[in-house]
Structure 1
């Protein structure tokens, strides 16, 4: 006789199947199934929340601009706030990417016991902390311009306020990781070269970057759509500030890594839905998270590039954002953004 599956077992099996289907649909070559009931629902107000932690107030040193808080260390290198609202948004982004990627923290084949791990642009430190828990034998170093990481961390995890930490000798790290830094890096070839120098032979470098260019799966988002206009202006402002905002598009990052000397370079692209239009439950939740992240960060993302880069006043920015917020609630465009995951290996015989 076959055992009868309990309700709890059925629910767990269905969750696993939904998660697997989500990865397959959102992954390269896949196609996200649209939930037809959601396409007319353009004004939902779903919100997800996330907790974040930071260093003690006495250790913080910040500047304030247009009502938002920015890092003071090497002021101006990163054009986005680091206040509590932004920290919560970054932690939500971490949760969203994990859910989209089947709970994976990394894709490079780093083995079961990497010893030295570097996280560039660690932000709140949540990825570094989870990697420290996962690889107890490893030493994990997180580096960021802002001192917003928690004080209480696993004993094998530490944080440093710096641009990029190259105090270690060459051939030191088993694995270097960076994500969500496309809005900040001004010289990608230099970062790729320096990372290659400081990897041990056979070590891996991995990037997770969103191409912030909304794509309509049904071709109904015109260039004058508020969301399309918004990201075109962000790109223009960051370009004027010297940031290579489109560096991840069209396989450019993969090509740059290969030109710098990495081997076995691989790229995977996932679709991040914007809103509740996917039929798959996991992807619907990812879409809610991503829309919330974009809406919660709409001012933080815009202020630096538009005021510093395009010369707008804060009042002009706020007026423009009214229509952009409405645009994000438009499910009918079936919009998504590509998440590029690129990783490459340092040759065994080099440097």
Structure 2
């Protein structure tokens, strides 16, 4: 297990292109907050979604969670579970995105109904369905490695299961908007990924990447100590993913901006947001955001970390589960005022680009 003290306590990363006010100022803690209202009562604010037919669900159980055999066994491409608990968490993550963006589905300046839309890493398909509902003139394709999408859909929304790191078989210069959200734990080659976005985007089309910091936890008041369990979790998760060739340690707004620009996109902008872990902030919006984040992380620590640590680092299950549970307990205690960064990075393909 990585030594949590190898990382300095409570880093505050420089804010890159602090367009949004949520990323510019320190988050002030609410010293009068009571956290008992957020104790785990077994309930979830997220809604359930229908599952695909059992004929394409090759399932197995490990560490008490259900996984898709194909997505795990073929190179450990997708280590997250695929049970109802995870589907609820994915839908709650979509709700978090709406909270961050004040109810908007994207940051890209989309006008009208873009004809062809690609949603990369569609998850339960909830973003694609919302976008298709608001834009009835758009044809939306939601693609994901895991078949977690519902069997019902709108007439203008379809779902496909494929590996985004393989060669895309879509038409070149085809999509009028490409949306990519929370695929960071599965992408090994960001240069190839963003280049394929460029090749398959129509001239003048926008792309949007939404990712978050995965190794580091940040704070503004020094309340996260060097021996925090948060660091043990972040170090182990990043080490596990690195064994697959996925390096989340370099994630930043400038990292994604550089890859979009090198792929050929112009007018690239980075929007940076702070997302608190728990209800400790004084601000009403941050407090609610923290409550939603806590709900996500209640099962999210285990979803991301359990199989990664046990299979890839050979950490005993009880130790790995202890790290995951320890992180959630710290969030509920409310003493360590941590947060992560969520980046929205948008770019436009030049009008004259044809390759």
What SS does the corresponding residue of 2:248 show, helix, strand or coil? coil
- Which of 23, 32, 37 in structure 1 is aligned with 2:32? 37
Rounded to whole Å, the distance in 1 between the matches of 2:131 and 2:25 is 29
- Which aligned pairs between 1:67-78 and structure 2 lie closer than 5 A? 67-74=64-71, 75=74, 76-78=76-78
Does the aligned pair in 1 maintain the 2:129–2:154 contact within 8 Å?
yes
Rounded to whole Å, the distance in 1 between the matches of 2:299 and 2:235 is 19
Rounded to whole Å, the distance in 2 between the matches of 1:152 and 1:70 is 22
Match of 1:90 in 2: 90
Rounded to whole Å, the distance in 1 between the matches of 2:132 and 2:44 is 26
- Which of 39, 51, 55 in structure 1 is aligned with 2:52? 55
Match of 1:207 in 2: 209
What SS does the corresponding residue of 2:342 show, helix, strand or coil? strand
Q: 1:257 to 1:25 in 2, by over 3 A?
A: closer
Rounded to whole Å, the distance in 1 between the matches of 2:116 and 2:240 is 37
RMSD over aligned Cα atoms: 2.1
Match of 1:151 in 2: 151
Does the aligned pair in 2 maintain the 1:48–1:288 contact within 8 Å?
no
Does the aligned pair in 1 maintain the 2:116–2:174 contact within 8 Å?
yes
Rounded to whole Å, the distance in 2 between the matches of 1:343 and 1:260 is 13
Q: 1:241 to 1:150 in 2, by over 3 A?
A: same
- Which aligned pairs between 1:186-225 and structure 2 lie closer than 5 A? 186-212=188-214, 213-225=216-228
Rounded to whole Å, the distance in 1 between the matches of 2:231 and 2:27 is 21
Q: TM-score, normalised by structure 2?
A: 0.86
Q: 1:250 to 1:152 in 2, by over 3 A?
A: closer
What SS does the corresponding residue of 1:80 show, helix, strand or coil? coil
Rounded to whole Å, the distance in 2 between the matches of 1:321 and 1:339 is 21
What SS does the corresponding residue of 1:176 show, helix, strand or coil? strand
Does the aligned pair in 1 maintain the 2:278–2:291 contact within 8 Å?
yes
Match of 1:6 in 2: none
Q: 1:315 to 1:327 in 2, by over 3 A?
A: same
2:60 maps to 1:66: no
Deviation at 1:58, TM superposition (A): 3.4
Q: TM-score, normalised by structure 1?
A: 0.87
Provide the aligned length of Structure 1 versus Structure 2: 327
Q: 1:138 to 1:321 in 2, by over 3 A?
A: closer
Rounded to whole Å, the distance in 2 between the matches of 1:320 and 1:210 is 20
Deviations 1:167-198 (A, max 9, x none): 22100000111111111111111100011000
Match of 2:181 in 1: 179
Does the aligned pair in 2 maintain the 1:92–1:289 contact within 8 Å?
yes
Deviation at 1:237, TM superposition (A): 1.0
Does the aligned pair in 2 maintain the 1:192–1:260 contact within 8 Å?
yes
Q: 1:319 to 1:43 in 2, by over 3 A?
A: farther
Q: 1:24 to 1:342 in 2, by over 3 A?
A: closer
Does the aligned pair in 2 maintain the 1:73–1:145 contact within 8 Å?
no
Deviation at 1:322, TM superposition (A): 4.0
Deviation at 1:121, TM superposition (A): 0.9
Gaps spanning 5+ residues in structure 1: where? 1-22
Rounded to whole Å, the distance in 1 between the matches of 2:345 and 2:46 is 27
- Which of 273, 294, 300 in structure 2 is aligned with 1:291? 294
Deviation at 1:308, TM superposition (A): 2.4
Match of 1:170 in 2: 172
Match of 2:11 in 1: none
Deviations 1:32-55 (A, max 9, x none): 3432212x7589416642112121
Q: 1:107 to 1:319 in 2, by over 3 A?
A: closer
Match of 2:275 in 1: 272
Question: Bigger CA drift: 94-103 or 74-83?
Answer: 74-83
Gaps spanning 5+ residues in structure 2: where? 1-18
Larger Rg: 1
Match of 1:324 in 2: 327
What SS does the corresponding residue of 1:329 show, helix, strand or coil? helix
